[in-house]
Amino acid sequence: MTAAFELTAFATCAFVAVAGALGMTTTMSMFRSGIFLMASFIGVAGLFILLSADLIGLLQVMMYIGGFLVMILFMVLVMHDPGGAMMAGMDLAPLERWSSLGLVPRRPAEAGPDGHRQGEAGDRTAATGHGEGHSGTHPPRPGGEARGDHAEAHDGAAKAMPHEAQGGHGERAAHPHGQAAHGHDHAPGGGHGGMDMGGMDMSMVTPVRPVAAWLALGVGAVLVGMLVLRPAWPVMPDAVPDADSARRVGHLLMEKYMVAFEGAGFLILIGIFGALLLARPSTYPDDASRAAKVAVDAEPEPIRNDRLAPRATLNGVAEPAPDHGAHRRHGGHIG
Amino acid sequence: MTVPLTAYLVVGALLFAIGLYTVVAQRSAVMILMGVEVLLNAIGLNVVAFWRFTAPGDYSAQILAILVVTVGAVEMAIGLALVLLLYRQRRTAEVDAYADLKR
């Protein structure tokens, strides 16, 4: 392995690993995040093989990509808005805009207090029944008519935003700008300028994102600085590991570290049981099972102790009695 | 070995920082799990790099890397099962909606 080849391979693999991880965390589409994560895994596997740890490199490819990534992508496809179409086109940092290239933004039909739900009902791509679930978690806030014109202005601003030259703004500089453009106060979720459609914060990141970015930058800078300033590691550059390293690792696993190996196997067994126990279909009726029961083509059960009947007498003065009688007859017919 | 140990460690540090940012800043539970995977990758890279440069005759470091991958697999399976269960109940995968699990 010549020096030039090793340098080239290292540069390629390191770039793929770091750029993949960076793209994973900055793109607006969760599916793209999974694909970027696969690139990062492949880069790290290349680094492992370059470090002559062949077994770990192959294990990385097989387990991380074959196992974890398939699980992750399955979960992502179950989720709401896996393609990031809701979030494309809002104010992004330059890196985020670059890694979200080509995502077509999708707007709800009209931006209003319940424009989000109508837009959701129009395309049932990801999650059925998502609208009511989200309106449960993010209750619509008061001041709806004040929000209407805000939402329209906001929509226009969001449309203009991709064409705006924002390259000069840094990641943090774009943040107050977005808030100033929105101009109305969000609930705690609304710090970073997500598309606030119908009182709902659509952003993919939490409001502490600037803090997190500074924290990550600080930790990375401190680590890299410590590594660069470290005088010397006790390296043994001449010692070459065994070419048959997989055999050596297998012997170690079966002899010296057998207890750890068996313990890991037992942990996997328990983990499989736990995951199956958690993810099995629930015995409690949720929305899906209830809908399935309603969809069965059969006579509905007669309504006993109908609370609606007195209320009907209050509203419509005429004949509550035939309705009640119809229920009785119906029940008798069934019985 | 023309590429020094520090280069590998710098790559590991960058991966660690990115994973940390992902875990803190992302809102979806699946994205947080992806960030944890990146963190585990950084750890594995550091372990293997130290093995190669300081003790290439002793393969215990590779055992440690294998065990890290294994525990990561179990964590992934349990985490995704939890997210699937919570998503089925609450129709959202954002961890802000799970805040009442703290009680």
CATH number of domain containing B23:
1.10.287.3510
How many domains is chain B built from? 1
Rounded Cα gap, residues B16 and B36, in angstroms: 9
Domain that holds residue B62: 5-91
CA dist A197 and B89 (Å) reads: 23
Across A239-253, A271-285, B2-16, least confident range? A271-285
B98 found inside a domain = no
Is B103 within a domain? no
Higher pLDDT, A265 or A83: A265
Quote ipTM for the complex: 0.92
Between residues A235 and A58, which one has the greater pLDDT?
A58
Structure tokens at A330: 């119906």
Average pLDDT over residues B53-79: 88
| The two structure tokens encoding residue B26 | 């992302």
- For A152-193, the pLDDT digits (tens) are 334 433 333 333 333 333 333 333 333 333 333 333 333 333
Cross-chain Cβ contact B1/A6 below 8 Å: yes
Q: How far is CA A262 from the centre of its chain?
A: 34
Contact B64/A at CB under 8 A = no
In angstroms, the first-to-last Cα distance of chain B is 53
Closest Cα of chain B to A247: distance in Å?
Answer: 10
- Chain B residues within 8 A of A224 when measuring between CB atoms: 10, 13-14
According to the model, what pLDDT value does residue A71 have? Answer: 82
Nearest residue of A to residue B97, measured between CA atoms: A137
**Looking at the domain assignment, is residue B99 inside a domain?**
no
Q: Has residue B102 been placed in a domain?
A: no
* Measured distance CA(A221)–CA(A224) in Å, rounded: 5
pLDDT, position A324: 47
Domain contains B101? no
Give me the pLDDT at residue A112, please. Answer: 40
Structure-model confidence comparison of residues A116 and A264, the more confident one: A264
Cβ pair B51:A219 closer than 8 A: no
Q: Write the CA distances from A142 to A150, A186, A198, A199, B88, integer angstroms.
A: 14, 12, 11, 9, 29
Please check whether residue B2 is in contact with residue A50, taking contact to mean a CB–CB distance below 8 angstroms: no
B38: DSSP letter: H
Are the C-beta atoms of residues A275 and B80 closer than 8 Å to each other? Answer: yes
Q: Residue B45: inside a domain, yes or no? A: yes
* pLDDT per residue as tens digits for the range A203-230: 566 677 778 888 888 888 888 888 888 7
B68 touches chain A (CB under 8 A): no
Q: Note whether residue B53 is domain-resident.
A: yes
Residue A239 CA, chain-centre distance (Å), reads 45
**Does residue B32 lie in a domain region?**
yes
pTM of the model: 0.65
pLDDT, tens digit, 9 for 90 and up, residues A51-100 = 888 889 998 888 888 888 888 888 877 776 666 666 655 556 667 766 77
